[in-house]
Amino acid sequence: MYEIYVTKECGCFKKSPYENHAQFQSRADAKLQADLMVNYMNTKFCKKHEFELFEEGEHFKIVVDERSDPYGCCGGGHCS
C-alpha cells in the first residue's frame, strides 16, 4: 500500500478536496496523485507556502515550507 501524506495541513489544504494520508494500491497511482497535488497546491493555493514532494519507500511526503517573499514587505516590488 502506498500513502501520500502532507507534513502540515495549512488552511488552504483543509479547504481543498484533498485528504491527508490518502492510500493507493500502486506506486504509479500514488506518484501521479502526489505530483498533481503538489502542482495544484503550488499554483492554486494562497502562495503563503511552498510544497515539495519527497518519496520515502512506500510513502510520498509533501513538505510544506513558508514561501520566501522576494519583493520585500508588501509583495508589490516597490518597497525593497
pLDDT tens per residue across span 54-67: 999 999 999 999 87
The answer to whether residue 72 is domain-embedded is no
The answer to whether residue 24 is domain-embedded is yes
Bridge-partner residues for 5, per DSSP?
A: 61
The answer to whether residue 57 is domain-embedded is yes
- The average confidence (pLDDT) of the chain is 89
The answer to whether residue 76 is domain-embedded is no
What's the per-residue H, E or C state across 26-45? CHHHHHHHHHHHHHHHHHHC
* Range(s) of the domain holding residue 56: 2-66
Contact 10, 20 (CB under 8 A): no
Predicted TM-score (pTM) above 0.85: no
Total domains in the chain come to 1
